[in-house]
Amino acid sequence: MVDWFTYKGDVLQLVRRIAKHLLEAGVVDGVVSGVSKDGKVSLYIVRGAVEVDESPLDRVLLHGYRGLESAVRAVRERREERLAVLVKPCEARAMVELAKRRQVNLDSSFIIGFDCPGIRVNNTIELGIKEAVSAVPSDELLRDACRRCEVHALPHYDVCISLLASPEIILVGAKTGKGTRVVKFLKESGVLSDRSPQELLLMREEKLRLLSENGRKNLREEEEKLLSAPSNERFSWFMSQLDSCARCGACIKACPLCFCKDCILIKERKNYSPSLFLVTRMLHMADACVCCGKCDEVCPKNIPLSYMFYHLGRRFTSRYNYLAGVDFSNPPRAV
């Protein structure tokens, strides 16, 4: 049972307040963030509270990094450190899936997560957190992966921030012991107000329900469209996509779930045909893909990777009633 409190103010200031407290109180060694140069953002771990105000935490949450880094990957690659990370639900799902595979330690990391209505394509990169995670965009404005997203709430978090019910009265809740201690601190410091009114919680629930329903509808429509084509046409389309792969490995390096240190596909990629390379990767990801869309963003050949990976994966995982990253009790099925 989560206790929800309210915050009235600038959401980025709230995030900064939490990040500073985590560093000052020694809860974490660093906060996964970025450093801006020429309008682009590269990975940077903030180690001191004084650095937090200058750090583009909002930009990292909404649009990620230039290149192949991802915030979840940064936590995974530094799992000996205690790091705080800002995530959207797909990234929280990646954290859960990685925890089940013993690749991240959720006890020592700190997840600050947001309910997510869907991220718009790059032309609205200037939006701040308030605008981006409160309003529900129409389907045409969304990234492909967000259009078919089934999970808009965080499956796991330490602190959750939700602007879905209202962009002005922000809901803040904690799920874990360390999250509860941070919320208590914010409450005692006067940052958070009293418990949230019930009607705001109900509005949030209803928005989350509608968002998931819409994602499942779009997923079904994509699948119906795919299956309505004759099988030889489907096969040709699928093969043409596979054959256009340049085996550059960018999708592997960008994927938060690809964690093998000695990835045979990367090492031996020039010995694989493009189709074998991609099919092997799809099999490895069959039960793990969380449809975050990171691979779509880095593929130089514009192959609709999240579309292919997720549809293929769902055909496999629906047999086991398995959805990647949504609960801890269901063990991975393909490893």
Which residue ranges make up the site for ligand SF4 (CB under 6 A)? 88-90, 116, 118-119, 145-146, 149, 152, 245-251, 254-255, 257, 278, 285, 289-295, 298-301, 303, 305-306, 309
Q: State the distance between the two ends of the chain, measured CA to CA, in whole angstroms.
A: 33
Q: Which two tokens stand for residue 307?
A: 């579309």
Spatial neighbors of 167 by CB under 8 A, at least 6 apart, are 130, 131, 134, 135
52/288 with CB nearer ligand SF4? 288
Which alpha helices (DSSP H) does the chain contain, by range?
11-24, 57-63, 71-77, 89-100, 129-132, 144-147, 177-188, 198-228, 231-243, 250-254, 264-267, 274-284, 294-298, 305-317
110/309 with CB nearer ligand SF4? 309
- The minimum distance between CB 86 and ligand SF4, in angstroms, equals 12
Crossing angle for the helix pair 231-243 and 274-284, to the nearest 10 degrees: 100
- C-beta of residue 56 within 8 angstroms of C-beta of residue 39: no
Query: Which residue type is seen at 253?
Result: K
192/298 with CB nearer ligand SF4? 298
- The minimum distance between CB 272 and ligand SF4, in angstroms, equals 10
Closest CA to 285 of 304, 318, 261, 258: 258
- The minimum distance between CB 99 and ligand SF4, in angstroms, equals 15
Our CA angle for 308, 112, 25, nearest 5°, is 150
- The minimum distance between CB 274 and ligand SF4, in angstroms, equals 7
Measure the CA–CA gap between 146 and 144, rounded to whole angstroms: 5
Our CA angle for 264, 247, 32, nearest 5°, is 75
5/157 with CB nearer ligand SF4? 157
Measure the CA–CA gap between 60 and 38, rounded to whole angstroms: 15
182/255 with CB nearer ligand SF4? 255
- The minimum distance between CB 205 and ligand SF4, in angstroms, equals 17
- C-beta of residue 285 within 8 angstroms of C-beta of residue 306: no
108/212 with CB nearer ligand SF4? 212
Query: Which residue type is seen at 318?
Result: S
- The minimum distance between CB 88 and ligand SF4, in angstroms, equals 4
- The minimum distance between CB 207 and ligand SF4, in angstroms, equals 12
- The minimum distance between CB 154 and ligand SF4, in angstroms, equals 9
Question: Which residues is 142 bridged to in the sheet?
Answer: 120
At 143, is the secondary structure helix, strand, or coil? coil
Measure the CA–CA gap between 293 and 1, rounded to whole angstroms: 31
229/246 with CB nearer ligand SF4? 246
- The minimum distance between CB 165 and ligand SF4, in angstroms, equals 17
Q: Which two tokens stand for residue 78?
A: 């530094």
246/283 with CB nearer ligand SF4? 246
22/292 with CB nearer ligand SF4? 292
